[in-house]
Amino acid sequence: MARTRGHELFRVATAMACLLCYTTILLGGNVMASGNGLACPDWPSCYGNGNLLPAFQGGVVAEWSHRVAAFFLSVSVLVVTLLALVYERGRKVLLRLSFGSLALVVTEALLGGLVVESGLELPFILLHLGIATALFGLLLLLTVLANLRELPPRVVAWVRRAASEVSDSPPSMALPRPEVPPSKSEVPFGQPRNG
């Protein structure tokens, strides 16, 4: 029972992290487009005085909202990883993707600081954008995989059809069949988990 609840928590947490990542990216684009990248010239606090709630004047709102979103994103990815450690040890792919996301979000937050400290050096900005998109891709994949069993049957059928189109290809491109039968505790893909 507690395990089922753990799986539920995990899949909701992945979706939350994915949404937060999307929001953070949008707010980052806003910082860039509004030219407010240096409205907060220091990191992690805006003016380097340790005050985490700066006066909202000028472009500070744009820059600070991006940092706050990044903070919540980092916390959500940490929660995803902890939940994966506790409840998803049996699903190694999910565990690895969670750790990969954690590594990327930590790198990205540190890099954000470097973007500011460098006075918006182009290589840092490009790397910052590159890691942001990779992180979103990873979180999206994790969310889809973690929620596969809860997807509407129509969507599951669509995924199956897409996969079977690959299986109809020449043998070299066919999807390999799993060698190990699913354990008793595992519900086959496409069937809802009861209880």
Residues that bind ligand HEM (CB under 6 A): 21, 24-25, 28-29, 31-32, 37, 43, 66-67, 70, 73-74, 105, 108-109, 112-113, 115-116, 120, 125, 128-129, 132, 135
Cβ closest to ligand HEM, residue 29 vs residue 48: 29
Q: How far is the CB of 112 from ligand HEM (least distance, A)?
A: 2
Q: How far is the CB of 77 from ligand HEM (least distance, A)?
A: 9
Cβ closest to ligand HEM, residue 7 vs residue 67: 67
Rounded CA-CA distance 99/90 in Å is 15
- Whole-Å CA distances, 175 to 157, 165, 170: 16, 10, 10
Rounded CA-CA distance 182/195 in Å is 19
3-state secondary structure of 120: coil
The token pair that represents 189 in the structure block: 């893909």
Cβ closest to ligand HEM, residue 126 vs residue 174: 126
Cα angle at 138 between 82 and 37, to 5 degrees? Answer: 95
Cβ closest to ligand HEM, residue 88 vs residue 108: 108
CB contact burial 64-80 (16+ within 10 A = b; e otherwise): bbbbebbeebbebbbbb
Identity (one letter) of the amino acid at 87? Y
Q: How far is the CB of 181 from ligand HEM (least distance, A)?
A: 39
- Closest by alpha carbon to 190, among 153, 141, 163, 142? 153
Q: How far is the CB of 42 from ligand HEM (least distance, A)?
A: 9
Q: How far is the CB of 34 from ligand HEM (least distance, A)?
A: 8
Cβ closest to ligand HEM, residue 31 vs residue 94: 31
Q: How far is the CB of 9 from ligand HEM (least distance, A)?
A: 22
Cβ closest to ligand HEM, residue 127 vs residue 151: 127
The token pair that represents 5 in the structure block: 């609840």
